[in-house]
Chains A and B, each alone.
Chain A
Amino acid sequence: MTAAVLSAEAEVLDALATVTDPELDEPITELGFVRSVLLDDVGITVHLRLPTAFCSPNFAYLMASDALDALRELDHIGEVRVLLDDHHDSEKINTGLAADAGYLGTFGDEAEESLAALRDVFWRKAHTAAMERAIGSLMRQTPMDVDLIRRLTLRDLPEGKPKVALLRRRFAIGLSNCPNSRVLVDDDGKSIPIEGVPLRLRFAKSVRMSMEGNAHFCRGLLATRYADDSVGAEPIVTNTRTLRRMQ
């Protein structure tokens, strides 16, 4: 029984770890955005929290609805509830999530279309940053000139975290992961002419730096905001299940 309970909790946290903050490109579990997880006989209730009451509501909605989707994928999970705490739009977002109202249904006339285009912008930023990280880590081992960098293919990258991360982001924006694909590309996957290589790399570095810096800032603000709470960076997980639901 204990093993089964532990695995249920681990499964839930693993599912939540697949949800990333689109702006920071890091899992919400690592950012401390998951405040608590309650498993009971009805299902599961997850409370999310953010660094400020004024964090962008569109991103807040994306993370909350992604969390809902990720948890519903789990077998025998029961009823799934995701609630966003302490946000200026908490009521609106929580009502929308509970009613499965979707993005347009949740925000009414504040929204025009879907969030797909917005998400795409940040996937492309995440790809640019991952590309710079992958090339940067290779350059620290093997110095390369502009032409070599330009002609670098995925097969030339050493196996490891930077490569895995890059492949994942390439997949997200629909780029080929064929080993012969060029590593240094523009947002549409096209290779860069030799004279454009330094500028593309330099800009990619700014994108990476900006995303990393924002993540530091968000972590700092979250810690300050919830300093008086007994809640740490790790979510509080409570399991009161008596039925053998999720194994």
Chain B
Amino acid sequence: MYQKDGQKYFIVDGHVHLWDGRATNHKNVHGKQFIDCFYDYHKNLSPEEALWDYDTYTYYGGDRLMKDLFVDGYVDHAIFQATLLSDFYVTGFGQTEEAFDLARRHPAKLTYNHAYDPRYGEAGLAQLRRDADRMNLQGVKLYTAEWHGESRGYKLDEPWSRRYLEECIKLGIKNIHVHKGPTIRPLDRDAFDVADVDKVATDYLELNFVVEHVGLPRLEDFCWIATQESNVYGGLAVAIPFIHTRPRYFAQIIGELLYWIGEDKILFSSDYALWTPKWLIEKFVDFQIPEDMLGEYAPITVEQKRKILGLNAAALYDIDVPAELQLDEPAGQGGVDVAAGAKESVSL
């Protein structure tokens, strides 16, 4: 819980990791390239006081995670998003068993979302059933750009992917987090294209699709499909740290999101340990659209911030929110008019 200026905020961090990017875990040079790329993101967008040294960044462990999120970081509940990257790392990048074990020991604080890869066919489906049972899965995180043998990625609307999504419905897995990334095969297409999310969101209304990183670098395409679909949400991981280095750009991102997809569809996420939640939450609560941009975007209200910082994700994951931290009107409503802003005539 975070408190400021007499307002209280229930915090759900929708995207955290417990990874091992140390050299001992690299399978090949891509393991090093991947963690180095993450570290550059961290260095590029963090405030100086929140910078980590490289060695700590490659592996920090469960105790450090608990402290950064729940002691220092105001977070009430956090959701692990698996990033396996088995072609790059010996035991995978995200540490499944370590994270799952932490979540089992702190069920009120942590939810573990696992991953699957439809390119494993029938064997993968059987594994998904076992994982859902053992881990009591409510959500999965799909990294569609993950390498697998000769393949550099897949699309959500491919036949095998559809079979896995249908299996999720049967197993009660309702939240499908999607991370778009580069190098999707075939390379003739735009790797960040979110059109496949659009197709499956239309076909599987029982599922919620959370597009991580709000579709960046294709924010406009994400906003467009989210406008058409009532079950598409946007996770703020990677977008929210711009609040520090480029607050005017962040104002545009959040302004566009509120305009196109609305306050009930946006989820706070730190992407820990890419960034730590403490400073992100403090800055977001203090944040306001700059005065000279108020013609373009409406000011952000406290109520909107409360939904984005936790109440929307709490609704998606049935997380109990203390009565004093709830809003009069429930947050995270799938049925609300998602294109409210977009349907109004634009003032010129």
Chain A residues within CB distance 8 Å of chain B? 23, 52-58, 61, 88-89, 107, 109-115, 117-118, 121-122, 139, 143-146, 149, 198-199, 201-203, 206-207, 209-210, 213-214, 216-217, 220-221, 223-225
Contact = CB atoms under 8 A, between A and B. Distances in A.
B217 A202 contact: no
17 contacts: A57-B187, A58-B191, A110-B150, A110-B185, A115-B188, A144-B348, A206-B220, A206-B223, A206-B260, A207-B220, A210-B218, A213-B219, A213-B249, A220-B45, A221-B40, A221-B44, A224-B44
A147 to B, nearest CB: 11
Contacts of A201: 346, 348
Interface stretch (B29-37, B89-97, B300-308): B29-37
Interface in B35-56: 36-37, 40-41, 43-45
Contacts of A57: 182-183, 187
A110 B154 CA distance: 12
Q: Most chain-B CB neighbours within 10 Å: which of A121, A122, A203? A: A203
Interface of B: 30, 33-34, 36-37, 40-41, 43-45, 150, 152, 181-183, 185-192, 216-220, 223-224, 242, 245-246, 249, 252-253, 256, 259-260, 342, 345-346, 348
A217 B45 CA distance: 10
A112 B150 CA distance: 14
B249 A58 contact: no
Contacts of B191: 56, 58
Contacts of A112: 186, 188
A61 B183 CA distance: 12
B182 A209 contact: no
A206 B220 CA distance: 5
Contacts of A202: 259, 342, 346
Given A198-B348, A225-B40, 11 more contacts: A23-B217, A113-B188, A115-B187, A118-B188, A198-B345, A203-B224, A206-B219, A206-B223, A206-B260, A210-B217, A213-B252
A59 to B, nearest CB: 8
Given A111-B186, A198-B345, A88 B30 contact: yes
B219 A111 contact: no
Given A56-B191, A118-B189, A146 B348 contact: yes
A220 B43 CA distance: 10
B44 A220 contact: yes
Contacts of B346: 198-199, 201-202
Contacts of A216: 246, 249
A237 to B, nearest CB: 26
A114 B217 CA distance: 23
A210 B249 CA distance: 9
B162 to A, nearest CB: 21
